[in-house]
Copies of this chain bind each other. A is one copy, B any other.
C-alpha cells in the first residue's frame, strides 16, 4: 500500500480539449476521515468526455474545476477506514472521488455501493456505472423505443453508444450506428450487433448513407455528438420521433457558440421531441437499471470493451486521447488489480 496520496491536479485552464500539460501530479499525505466521512482507496479511475466541460464551462451541472484543484473524476474503490455508520471497511463504492489514490469521502460523493461481486469492479465505471445507466435511461426513458422502430446512435462503438445499441437490439429495434473509422464500424456490427454501421469519416454524404441505412426513416436518435450527424438525422426523422441529447462531443468548444441548421421546423412538422437529460436525474432508479444491465451481461447479451491504462501517471493525457478517439472501449486507469482487494481475496 502506498504511504502517500498521488493526485492529478489542474495546472492551467485549457481553451478547448485539456492536454497532458494542463495537469501535474503531486504527492499529498494520506487523507484521514473526519466525523461522518470515510476513506476510499481507489482501484480504478475513469476518463469521461464530461471532464472537458467540468474544466471549461461555467454553465454546467457542477462548479467549475479551478486551477490547483485535484481533478474531479469518477472512480471505484474500497473503504479502508470509516467514521460513518453506513459505510464499513471492505465496502466497495463508486462515486466522485477524484484522480487520486485515496480520498476522504462524504456520503453525497458516493454514486452507489457495488454489490455485483461476481463481476469486475472496473465495470462500475463503465457498463455497470454511469455509461450503462446513461445508455439505459437515455434510451428507455427519454426515447421509449418500441419493437420494430429504427434507432440511430452516434459514437456507436463508445462506452455509452455500444450499450445503447445493444439495449435497443434487446428491445427489438433496428439499430444503426454512426462511428468514426473502419475498426469501430466493424466492431459495431461484429461485436455489438448493430444492423448497420456508418463510418462518418469515410462517407462524403451522411444524408445518403443514413437514407440507405434507415429505409423506414428514423424513430429514435440517441445523440452523443451534435453537429453534422444530428443535422442529417433531423432531416430523416419520422412523425413522433424522439431525440435524446446526451452529449455534444463533435464540438471541442462552445465559445463562440456553435451555429447550425435550425431544428425547430423539423420538430414541428414531425411532432418530434428533442430532450436533454442527465443520468443523475434518474438516481432513484439506479438499482433497477443495474439489475437489468448486470443480468444482460451475465446472459452474454450486453458486451463491453475496456481500454485499460496502467498507473496514475497515464491520467493527464487521457482526456485528449478520448476526444481524439484514440481509445478502444471505456477508457480507464488501473491503480491496482481486483485480486488485490481484501474483500475478494478472502471471499
List the interface of chain A (C-beta within 8 A of B): 57, 59-61, 223, 226, 230, 245-248, 251, 254, 257-278, 281
Q: How far is the CB of A230 from chain B (nearest CB, A)?
A: 7
| Residue in B closest to A57 when the chains form the complex, CB atoms | B269
Contact call A276/B270, Cβ cutoff below 8 A: yes
The copy count of this chain in the complex is 2
- A258 to chain B: which residues have CB within 8 Å? 261-262, 265
Mind listing 25 A-B residue pairs with CB under 8 Å? A57-B269, A61-B269, A226-B262, A226-B264, A230-B264, A245-B267, A245-B268, A248-B265, A251-B265, A254-B265, A257-B265, A258-B261, A258-B262, A259-B261, A259-B262, A260-B262, A263-B263, A264-B276, A266-B276, A267-B276, A268-B276, A271-B275, A271-B277, A271-B281, A273-B273
Given contacts A59-B269, A270-B276, A272-B276, 6 further A-B contacts (CB under 8 A): A57-B269, A230-B264, A248-B268, A258-B265, A264-B276, A274-B275
- A267 to chain B: which residues have CB within 8 Å? 245, 274-276
In whole angstroms, what is the CA distance A226 to B281 when docked?
A: 29
In whole angstroms, what is the CA distance A73 to B77 when docked?
A: 67
| Residue in B closest to A269 when the chains form the complex, CB atoms | B59
